[in-house]
Structure 1
C-alpha cells in the first residue's frame, strides 16, 4: 500500500506541476513577440518564426517540459555539431533541438516501461523500491543513448545506399553531358529518371540552383554536406569544371570510372569481411561436431574394454 500511495502522490504532484507550469508560462517568448515586426528585414526573412508550427495537444501540454529536458540533455551530452552533421548525413529534416526532444521521448518510453515493471515488483517486495528506481533512471539514460545510436545507424545505412547508387548515377550524368546537355539539364534529367538517395541529393542541388544559388556554389554545398569522400570529390570536380569552364564530359567520365573502381574495391573489402564471418560457424560449430564424431566412438570403446 505504501508503494501505491507513493505512486498516486507522484502522479498528483506531476499534475499540479503541469497546471502551475501552464498558468505561469503563458507569456510568449521574446522572439515570438518581436519577430513579426521585423519580418521584412533581409537577414530575418529566411528564418522561420518560433512557435508558428502548429502544435498538437500533446506538444501544447508537454512542449515546454520536453524543451527544458532537451536543453538539459544537450548540456549533459553536448556534441551538437556532431549531431547536426549526422542529421545532414541521414537526410532528416530535424534541428538539433528537435532531435534532443526525440531523445527525451525515447528515454521516457524506457522509463515508463521500467517503471511499470518496477511498480509490480515493488508491490510484492517494497524493500526493492530504491534499486528499482535507480534502474528506472538507468533505463531513461539508455533510451536517450539508444536514439543517438539509432541516428548513427541511419546515417551509415543511408551512406551505404548512396555508395550503391553512386556509380550508376555518375555514369548517367557523364552520358547526359556527353550527349550535349548542360550541367543543370543533366542533373534534372538524372533526378527525374532515377529513384533513391542520390536522386534526392541531386534534387536538393537543383532546388538550390532554382532559388538563385550559382551552380558551382550548390555543388560545393553538396560536397560539404556529403559524408562520403567519393561523392564529395565528384561534386567538387563538377563545381570546378563549371566554374572554370573546363570540358565537363571528360571530368564526369573520369569521375564515373573512379566511382566504379571505388565500388569494386568496396565489394572486394565486403567479400573479405564476409569470408572471415563465414569462418565463425565452421570453427565454432562444424569443427567441434566433427571432432566429437571422430573421437567419441574411440572414447566409448576405451571405456568398454578398460577393466
Structure 2
C-alpha cells in the first residue's frame, strides 16, 4: 500500500465522519426538544418540585451559618409568634417563602442593624470607655428594631400589592364579563384574560386556573382565592363567581356588578382621601400663615403705641 493510498483512506474517513456529524446535527435540529413539546401544556401548573437557583456565595454562607441562623429563627418564632399572620401576609404579598425562611430574613435584618449599632458602639467606647452598658442596650435594641422593621416591610409589601389588585380589578372583571357574554365558558374566559393581562390580580387568577386544570372544581378554586386574599371586594368577587358557577346564575351580570362596586368603592375612597387632605392643608394655614398675618397687622400699631407712650 503506497503513501497516496494511505492519505486517500484517511481523507475519505475524515470526510465520511464530517458528513455523519452534519447529518446527525441536522436530524437533532429537526427533532423538537422535550421541553418544547411538553411545556405549552403544563406552563400554568404549580411547579412544586422546581429547584431554585442558588448563588455559590449565598450557598456557602448558608452552609456555614445555616444552623446558627435556623436556631436564631426558631428563637424569633418563639418570642414573636404569629406564624398564621405571617403566612397570610406572605400569600397576600405573593412571596415564594415559608414562615421559617421569613424568620431567617428577620434575623438577617436584625443582625445588620446589630452590626451597625455595634460599630457605632465600638467607636464610642474607644472615645469614652465608661459608657459600656448603654451601648450594649443600644445594640440589643437595634437588633429588635431590625426584626420589627422586616415584619413591617412585609406588611407594606402586602398592602402595596393589594392596592395594585384594587386598581386592576375593574378592568379584569370587565374583560371576564365580556368574554363570558361572548359565549365562552368561565374557564375559557379566565384563560383568555390571564393570557392577555399582566399584574398582581392576574397572578392570583393564574393560580386559580392552575388549580382548575389540575382537577379542582371551579367553585372550590375560587373559594380558595376568597380565603387567601385580604381584600373584601376580591373575596366577594370570588365567592360570587363560585356561587354563579354552582347555581347557574348569569355570570356576566355578576361580573359587571362586581366591577361597578369596585369602581364605586374607589370613588368613595378618593373622596374620603380628598377630605382628609383638605383638613391637612389647613394645618400650615392655621399655624403658619395666620400667625404671620396677625403679626404683620398688629406689629406696626404696637410699635406706634410704644413710641407715643410717655
Q: Is the TM value for this pair above 0.5?
A: yes
Is 1:194 paired with 2:197?
Answer: yes
Matched residue of 1:127: which SS? coil
Aligned residue in 2 for 1:56: 59
1:52 offset after TM fit, Å? 9.3
Q: TM-score, normalised by structure 2?
A: 0.79
Distance 2:159 2:285 in 1: 29
Task: Specify the alignment match of 2:213 in structure 1.
Answer: 210
Find the aligned partners of 2:288 and 2:52 in 1 and give their Cα distance. 60
- Give the structure 2 partner of residue 138 of structure 1: 141
Q: 1:92 aligns with which of 85, 90, 95?
A: 95
1:119 deviates by: 0.5
Alignment of 1:163 with 2:166, yes or no, is yes
Gaps of 5+ in 1: 1-45
Whether 1:275 and 2:300 are equivalent positions in the alignment is no
What aligned pairs does 1:240-255 form with structure 2 within 5 A after superposition?
240-255=243-258
Instruction: Supply the distance in 2 between the matched residues of 1:52 and 1:291 (Cα, whole angstroms).
Output: 67
Residue 119 (structure 1) aligned with residue 119 (structure 2): no
Name the Cα RMSD after superposition. Answer: 2.1
CA distance in 1, matches of 2:82, 2:218: 32
**Alpha-carbon distance between aligned partners in 2 of 1:204 and 1:305, rounded to the nearest angstrom:** 84
What residue in structure 1 maps to residue 230 of structure 2? 227
Q: Which has the larger radius of gyration?
A: 2
2:13 aligns with none
Secondary structure of the residue aligned to 2:131 is: helix
Q: Structure 1 residues 275, 249: closer, same or farther in 2, change over 3 A?
A: same
1:202-244 Cα distance to aligned partner (Å, 9 max, x none): 1221122222222211111111111011110001000111122
Number of equivalent positions: 261
1:107 equivalent to 2:110? Answer: yes
Displacement of 1:64 in angstroms is 0.8
Answer with 53-62 or 266-275: which moved more: 53-62
Matched residues in 1 for 2:111 and 2:66: separation? 14
Report the alpha carbon displacement of residue 47 of structure 1 after superposing the two structures with TM: 7.7
Does 1 or 2 have the higher relative contact order (CA < 8 Å, sep 6+)? 2
Q: Is it true that 1:288 corresponds to 2:291 in the alignment?
A: yes
State the 1:291 CA deviation: 2.1
Corresponding position of 1:177: 180
Match of 1:18 in 2: none
